[in-house]
Amino acid sequence: MAALIGRDLLSLGDLSPTEVEELLHMATQLKSQKLKLQCNKVLGLLFSKASTRTRVSFTVAMYQLGGQVIDLNPNVTQVSRGEPIQDTARVLDRYLDVLAIRTFAQEDLQTFANYAQIPVINALTDLEHPCQILADLMTIKEHFGSLAGLTLTYVGDGNNVANSLMLGCALVGMNVRIATPDGYKPNAAITEKARTIAATKTEVTLTNDAQNATKGSHVIYTDVWASMGQEAEAGDRLPIFQPYQINHQLLSLADKQAIVLHCLPAHRGEEITDEVMEGSQSRIWNQAENRMHAQKALLASILGAE
């Protein structure tokens, strides 16, 4: 159970293929209650952006492990008054056992991790959303029984979710195709890293052709066209992203057994239609539930729960 004891999770690329496999196995065992783990530790949630799923799933996961959670909303701490990260990190380090951070710049997360000795978990930055992808991989494995050799197509904005998906798919031996408008591609360094992990075994493909990318794919995935912090651009993006909507027509190009995922929250009628979200191929609600099981496994592994 102690595979990741004391470790940070700042990027999904911090994990090895074996570590991802072990976390997914542990998450499945925890979900089915074949495995029960306990730890009497305290998790802090320092979230500078809104969150429903991540906040609640981390909180419930920690309670179910027998631990406790402190919600460190920046508005009620000195963070919103500009206390430097270096100072906040060194103080929180003295009270907490683990800290999950949702913020804008990956560099700020890195600074927290540099100054806090306790494990720091990326609960979403502009660059990555690793905890989301652990739940996504768990959901895909639940449906297909295994992951290696499957193809996932992500259609939409090359954002934090797309970046972490590339790493996650490469780590578990899945092919990944990212279809975005030109100018909205995923992060170049992370694309390279995913390609290095995938080596010659699987493919990491970037394209602007959503239809071709969807053909024969097993998992069709999307996310909002404008992420948190990009609200001012949302209107301008609508016409650019219109060809990247997951709708019945696009889904008909995928493998017959394909499932549809969305990290949520969704803008129905923009990146995904109501019909597809509520359709028989959607596994979106299982995916949301699995956030809790995957993060419980992550916390248990980092904290050495027994």
Residues that bind ligand NVA (CB under 6 A): 124, 159-161, 223-224, 227-228, 263
Q: For residue 63, give the nearest of 304, 299, 306 by alpha carbon.
A: 299
Compute the distance between CA of residue 4 and CA of residue 17 in angstroms, rounded to an integer: 13
Tokens 């709708």 sit on residue = 247
Assess whether 136 carries a catalytic annotation.
no
Task: Choose the catalytic residue: 55, 218, 291, 293.
Answer: 291
Question: Does 137 help bind ligand CP (rule: CB under 6 A)?
Answer: no
Q: Choose between 140 and 197: whose C-beta lies nearer to ligand CP.
A: 140
- Contact yes or no for 47/73 (Cβ under 8 A): yes
Q: Is 223 a catalytic residue?
A: yes
Q: Which does 175 bind (CB under 5 to 8 A by kind): ligand CP, ligand NVA, none?
A: none
Residue 87 appears among annotated catalytic residues: no
Cβ atoms of 238 and 270 within 8 Å: the answer is: yes
Options 11, 28, 48, 51; binder of ligand CP; rule CB under 6 A: 51
Of 263, 279, 30, 299, give the one whose Cα is nearest residue 136. Answer: 263
Please identify which of the residues 39, 131, 169, 263 carries the catalytic annotation.
Answer: 263
Rounded Cα distance between 89 and 225, Å, is 32
Residue 193 to residues 11, 128, 223, 239, 281, Cα–Cα distance (Å)? 11, 13, 22, 31, 31
Q: Is 291 a catalytic residue?
A: yes
With CB under 5 to 8 Å by kind, the binding choice for 31 among ligand NVA, ligand CP, none is none
Structure letter (DSSP) for residue 305: -
Binding-site size, ligand CP (CB under 6 A) = 9
Rounded CA separation 77/79 (Å): 5
- CA-CA distance, 68 to 225, in Å (whole number)? 35
Torsion angles phi and psi, residue 133, rounded to 5: -75, -30
Which positions from 96 through 115 interact with ligand CP, judged by CB under 6 A?
A: none
Q: Which of 97, 106, 132, 177 is catalytic?
A: 132
Instruction: Rule CB under 6 A: say whether 264 interacts with ligand CP.
Output: yes
Question: Measured from the CB atom, is 61 or 124 closer to ligand NVA?
Answer: 124
Residue nearest to ligand NVA (CB): 227
Distance of closest approach, residue 227 Cβ to ligand CP, in angstroms:
10
DSSP letter assigned to residue 201: T
Name the residue nearer to ligand NVA (CB basis): 7 or 49: 49
Q: Residue numbers of the site for ligand CP (CB under 6 A)?
A: 51-54, 124, 132, 263-265
Q: Tell me which residues are annotated as active site.
A: 102, 129, 132, 223, 263, 291
